[in-house]
Amino acid sequence: MSISARLPVFPWDRLEPYKAAAAAHPDGVVDLSVGTPVDPVPEVIRQALAAAADSPGYPLTYGTAALREAAADYLRTWHGVTGADPRHVLALIGSKELVGWLPTLLDLREGDQVGYPQLAYPTYEIGTLLARAEPVRYDDPVAELDPARVKLLWLNSPSNPTGRVLGAAELRRIVGWAREHGVLVVSDECYIELGWEGEEPVSVLHPDVCGDSHDGLIAVHSLSKRSNFAGYRGAFLAGDPAVVAELLAVRKHAGMIVPQPVQAAMVAALGDRDHAVEQKQRYARRRVALRTALEAAGFRIEHSEASLYLWATRGEGCWETVADLAKRGVLVAPGDFYGPAGADFVRVALTATDERVAAAVARLAA
């Protein structure tokens, strides 16, 4: 059987007819279906990229010392990870690459299980299937997963698609169970800076969660959302020294290397707080506008206390909602892309320009 035959249909291919319908609107489509940044790359990042453009040699798979120190300092300063160590940081070619290939890189095989949230980014499942392991959805990993079979446990807080935040106490409970049974916990924290209300998102590497040790834990951080870095493909992971060393060894053989100019741009992005604060303020304004308009139009918003999305329902099948909004020129993602539990929801992204958000608000009101 070919690899593609083992995988489900790419979700967004199913959305194409609705995208065409939305694009037929006289004022054009408002695409709120994908969380891709639309605002300019900050100047400090572009300057760093350009300054490193003359990079004829092979870059380091590990990441430069400057990059690993910048990542460790970012974790210490922004997220209170007191034990962050640059030796235990590894550069990534964007975080999706890591999500898609981690089970294979860890040598998971048939019979091994990978746990991931009931509502989740589809690539957790895809990465598991690529390794021929078994994907298992959970609501509560401690109560539902078999520790004898689960080798890798994905966490995602704040969640894509729901925006739900796992507090420090809940993370501590899960980490304690995983350590007791030798299950590796990998926390996808790419939305960690985008908390809006309720408990502030916390890293799995924070001492309130894991104490003074990162054993059995990996945190994955992306620059795509905070720094409009998606087109550059730059991210990093940090945590358990033995796991980082194993991943580095395999990635060296596979040639999984972040280009040198991108590494330099990552250093600049991680070291500059102002642009990230400014970007978060943009998303905050768009969130208020879209949430107000959706609720006025009869939608109920669940969770959504963090991340770049509103998890919305009006008590009908998600594709019915998608079709109706497409007629108004507004494209959203159907909730069943993220699991069967999303069948009555749609995910509404905040990643549209102010002008397009204003257009969506007007169309929802009409």
pLDDT per residue as tens digits for the range 47-87: 999 999 999 999 999 999 999 999 999 999 999 999 999 99
* DSSP strand pairing (89-92 vs 235-239): antiparallel
Structure confidence by residue, pLDDT tens digits, 153-176: 999 999 999 999 999 999 999 999
What is the pLDDT at residue 10?
82
Find the mean pLDDT for residues 304-329. Answer: 98
H or E stretch at 125: helix 123-130
pLDDT at position 6 over 90: no
Q: Which CATH architecture has domain 55-272?
A: 3-Layer(aba) Sandwich (3.40)
- What b/e string do you get for 271-300 counting C-beta neighbours within 10 Å, with b at 16 or more? ebeebbeebeebbeebbebbbebbeebebe
Per the omega criterion (within 30 degrees of 0), is the bond before 147 cis?
Answer: no
What ranges do the domains of the chain cover?
A: 4-40+275-365, 55-272
189's tokens: 């924290």
Confidence of residue 287 (pLDDT cuts 50, 70, 90): very high
Structure confidence by residue, pLDDT tens digits, 254-270: 999 999 999 999 999 99
Handedness of CA 172, 178, 179, 183 (dihedral sign): negative
128's tokens: 């598991």
pLDDT at position 1 over 70: no
User: Rounded to two decimals, what is the model's pTM?
Assistant: 0.96
Share of the chain above pLDDT 70, in %: 100
Topology (CATH) of 4-40+275-365:
Aspartate Aminotransferase, domain 1 (3.90.1150)
What is the pLDDT at residue 353?
98
Between 4 and 289, where is the model more confident? 289
* DSSP strand pairing (346-349 vs 333-334): antiparallel
Domains 4-40+275-365 and 55-272 share a fold: no
H or E stretch at 320: helix 318-327
Helix, strand, or coil here: 218?
strand
What is each CA distance from 163 to 102, 212, 350, in whole angstroms? Answer: 23, 28, 12
Integer Cα distance of 109 and 99 in angstroms: 16
